[in-house]
């Protein structure tokens, strides 16, 4: 047998309390009553009703006040107002404040039963919707744990054994065999990095980066990023030219993630560049903002692809040979820049090249320039 | 070098353990393995080890963390150096909100991410053993 529905009726008229109790108790409801708002709110805490009827006009605490407190403290409880002076305006006012419906006095037992059933059904639907939302939210939050255990663990085990085998078989294998093992290791590394990127997009709360914001020199960020991309550029015979003025104002941000943005932009620029061309990093100030542009003279981006560029998995269709990537770099970059209060945009012409520009607000002068090492970004 | 150092690996992934163990054995360590927290704790109680390699993300939750916490409370095992091995950094941050990513369960510990390059693994193990030894010397 399912438990009875708990219903609370708050009304100063004893006859209303009595008749409601009689009508609803005959169904599958357990009814409690209170003669005024103060007692009613107390009873809400102990009785834990699913539905509360509130008389709007009572001595002491008014029905509106009871309704307001109920909505604030227990949004999961449905409320129906009983309007003695059956004015539509007060009923509408109550519904604006979150009542599910109103019941004008005098009412018939049938009206009471109907409105009660509707309210309980409404509550059940709302509860189910909330449970689904919660489930979805939990799935998202636990995505990191699920993916990491189901995908990363086996890959980690494979990689660990490749490491060990390369180490142990070093003097037994031919160069060609060693090379194959090293290439296998690289493939597994790429997979692990890919999973890491997915996790960043789907489950890492980038807004938490704000906790680590501190004043930064963009020149430092650019230098670090160029350092990371350098190898890639050399292999493709692409030169990276940096033109960042020394007197650039500081920006406020998280060094690690901003470096990630510049690395993503530089990697893309190098990837889509032709051999023996040049990628330029330019920075300056414009309209009170600091801008940083990464400009290449590579394949460029078709107009129809531009609008999907910053979306998850959005890759340009025209792929130069050997350009691999998961199409998440720009999506992550956009999110990181937006968390910094900035924007990112692209200008491109197929066959001529692309220019990605990041704009960031200038760090406020009153910001603490002496950085506290304990708040620095963790690696 | 004096006598062979004894290491214990507690990790529930036999394949991962195989890849770790062979690197350590090749470097002349004596390596025991426990594939679950229960066997691991029992091994620690019955045999003296010089270092523990502990997978923090075993089983359904973070059973490895339970072991690390128990070690911290045990006056005999508190000084055992521990190399914590974790699948992913984000999870660590998730488990210890607002804390440094490296939680310091016991006096001497270090944290590495799976998979571990042989060179890095051996460096960390050696460094931990050295630090633990130096501490022992001090307290005498």
Inter-chain contact B23–A158, Cβ cutoff 8 Å? no
Average pLDDT over residues A139-160: 77
Closest-CA distance of chain A to residue B95, Å: 11
Contacts of A168 in chain B (CB under 8 A): 22, 26
- Model-level pTM? 0.51
Q: What confidence tier does B90 reach under pLDDT thresholds 50, 70, 90?
A: very low
Q: Measured between CA atoms, how close is A110 to chain B, in angstroms?
A: 53
Among B19, B88, B117, the residue with its CB nearest the CB of A157 is: B19
Q: How close is the nearest chain A Cα to the Cα of B73, in Å?
A: 27
Task: Check if the beta carbon of residue B51 is closer than 8 Å to that of residue B125.
Answer: yes
Residues of chain A with pLDDT > 70: what percent? 86
A313 touches chain B (CB under 8 A): no
CB pairs < 8 Å spanning A and B: 68
Q: B91 vs chain A: nearest CA distance in angstroms?
A: 7
Stretch among A51-55, A146-150, A177-181, A365-369 having the lowest mean pLDDT: A365-369
B36 domain-assigned: yes
- Within chain B, strands assigned E span 6-10, 30-34, 51-55, 82-86, 109-113
CB contact under 8 A, A144 and B101: no
Average pLDDT over residues A57-65: 89
Give CA separation, A167 vs A172, B22, B118, B119, in Å: 10, 10, 7, 9
Q: Do A203 and B90 touch (CB under 8 A)?
A: yes
* CB-closest option in A149, A167, A378 to B87: A149
Q: Is A152 in the B-facing interface, judged by CB distances under 8 Å?
A: yes
Closest CA to A256 of A221, A227, A228: A221
Chain B touched by A73 (CB under 8 Å) = no
DSSP letter at A98 equals T
**Which residue numbers of B have CB closer than 8 Å to A's CBs?**
13, 15-16, 18-20, 22-23, 26, 57, 87-88, 90-91, 94, 100-101, 114-118
pLDDT of residue A196: 72
Q: Is residue B57 part of a domain?
A: yes
A272-294 tens-digit pLDDT = 899 999 999 999 999 889 999 99
pLDDT digits (tens, 9 = 90+) for B14-65: 999 999 999 999 999 999 999 998 999 999 999 999 999 998 877 656 677 7
Interface of A with B in 197-216 (CB under 8 A): 199, 203-204
Who has greater pLDDT, A374 or A239?
A239
The DSSP line for B25-42 is: HHTT-EEEEESSHHHHHH
Which chain B residues are within 8 Å of A378, Cβ to Cβ? 100-101
- State what percent of residues in chain B have pLDDT above 90: 45
* Cα angle A341, A343, A347; round to 5: 170
What confidence category does residue B119 fall into, taking pLDDT thresholds of 50, 70 and 90?
very high
> Of the given ranges (A192-196, A360-364, B43-47, B107-111), which has the lowest mean pLDDT?
A192-196
Mean pLDDT (chain B, rounded):
82
Find the CATH number of the domain harbouring B23: 3.40.50.2300
Residue B1 lies in a domain: no
| pLDDT at residue number A370 | 43
Query: B27 lies in a domain?
Result: yes
The more confidently predicted of residues A145 and A90 is: A90
8 Å CB contact of B100 and A378: yes
* Start-to-end Cα distance in chain A: 56
Task: Give the least confident one: A107-111, A190-194, A363-367.
Answer: A363-367
B96 band by pLDDT with thresholds 50, 70 and 90: very low
pLDDT value at residue B93:
42
User: Of B57, B94, B118, which is closest to A167 when you measure between CB atoms?
Assistant: B118
Q: Does A149 touch chain B (CB under 8 A)?
A: yes
Res B31: pLDDT: 97
Residue-level pLDDT at A321: 46
pLDDT at A377: 41
- Least confident window among A214-218, A222-226, A318-322, B45-49: A318-322
- How high is the pLDDT of residue B100? 43
Are the Cβ atoms of A158 and B117 closer than 8 angstroms?
A: no
CA gap B60, A53 in Å, rounded: 46
Q: What is the pLDDT of residue A313?
A: 58
pLDDT for residue A147: 67
Nearest beta carbon to residue B23 from set A154, A167, A199: A167
**Chain B residue closest to A212 (CA)?**
B98
The pLDDT value given to residue A145? 62
Nearest-CB residue to A145 (from B91, B100, B118) = B91
Q: Please, what's the b/e burial string for A136-150 (b: 16 or more CB within 10 A of its CB; e: otherwise)?
A: eeeeeeeebbebbbe
Q: Tell me the per-residue pLDDT of A326-356, one tens digit each, with 9 for 90 and over.
A: 567 788 888 889 989 999 999 998 889 999 9
Confidence of residue B98 (pLDDT cuts 50, 70, 90): very low
How many domains is chain B partitioned into structurally?
1
Residue B49: which domain range?
6-139
At B103, the pLDDT band (50, 70, 90 cuts) reads low
When mean pLDDT is compared across A64-73, A111-120, A223-232, B3-12, the lowest value belongs to: A223-232
In this predicted structure, the answer to whether residue A101 has a pLDDT above a threshold of 80 is: yes
CA A254, chain centre distance (Å): 18
């Amino acid at each position: 047998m399912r438990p009875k529905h708990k219903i609370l009726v708050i009304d100063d008229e004893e006859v209303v309390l009595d008749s409601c109790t009689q009508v609803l108790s005959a169904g599958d409801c357990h009814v409690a009553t209170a003669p005024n708002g103060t007692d009613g709110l107390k009873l809400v805490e102990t009785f834990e009703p699913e539905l509360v009827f509130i008389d709007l006009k009572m001595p002491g605490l008014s029905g509106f006040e009871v309704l307001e407190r109920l909505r604030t403290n227990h949004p999961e409880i449905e409320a129906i107002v009983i309007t003695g002076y059956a004015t539509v305006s007060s009923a509408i006012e109550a519904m604006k404040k979150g009542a599910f419906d109103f019941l004008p006095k005098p009412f018939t037992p049938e009206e009471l039963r109907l409105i009660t059933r509707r309210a309980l059904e409404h509550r059940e639907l709302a509860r189910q919707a909330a449970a689904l939302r919660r489930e979805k939210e939990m799935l998202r939050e636990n995505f990191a744990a699920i993916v990491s255990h189901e995908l990363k663990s086996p890959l980690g085990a494979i990689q660990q054994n490749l490491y060990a085998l390369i180490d142990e078989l070093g003097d037994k294998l031919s160069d060609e065999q060693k090379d194959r093992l090293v290439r296998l290791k690289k493939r597994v590394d790429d997979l692990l990095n890919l999973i890491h990127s997915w996790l960043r997009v789907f489950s890492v709360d980038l807004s938490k980066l704000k906790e680590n914001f501190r004043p930064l020199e963009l020149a430092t960020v650019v230098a670090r990023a160029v350092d990371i991309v350098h190898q890639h550029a050399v292999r493709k015979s692409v030169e990276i030219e940096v033109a960042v003025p020394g007197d650039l104002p500081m920006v406020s941000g998280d060094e690690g993630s901003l470096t990630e943005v510049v690395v993503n932009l530089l990697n893309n620029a190098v990837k889509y560049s032709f051999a023996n061309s040049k990628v330029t990093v330019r920075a300056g100030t414009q309209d009170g903002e600091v801008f940083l542009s990464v400009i290449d003279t590579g394949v460029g981006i078709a107009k129809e692809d531009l609008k999907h560029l910053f979306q998850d998995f959005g890759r340009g269709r025209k792929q130069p040979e050997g350009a691999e990537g998961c199409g998440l770099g720009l999506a992550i970059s956009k999110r990181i820049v937006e968390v910094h209060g900035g924007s990112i945009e692209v200008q491109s012409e197929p066959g001529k090249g692309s220019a990605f520009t990041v704009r960031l607000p200038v760090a406020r002068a009153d910001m603490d320039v002496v950085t506290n090492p304990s708040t620095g970004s963790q690696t | 070098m004096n006598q062979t150092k004894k290491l214990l690996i507690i990790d529930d992934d036999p394949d991962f353990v195989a890849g770790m163990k062979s690197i350590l054995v090749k470097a002349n360590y004596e390596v025991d393995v426990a594939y679950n927290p229960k066997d691991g704790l029992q091994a620690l109680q019955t045999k003296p080890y010089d270092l523990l390699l502990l997978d923090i993300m075993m089983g359904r939750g973070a059973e490895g963390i339970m072991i690390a916490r128990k070690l911290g409370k045990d006056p005999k095992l508190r000084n055992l150096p521990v190399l914590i091995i974790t699948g992913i950094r984000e999870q660590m941050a998730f488990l210890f909100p607002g804390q440094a990513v490296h939680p310091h369960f016991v006096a001497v510990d270090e944290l590495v991410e799976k998979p571990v390059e042989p060179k890095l693994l051996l460096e960390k193990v050696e460094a931990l053993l050295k630090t633990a030894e130096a501490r022992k010397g001090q307290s005498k």
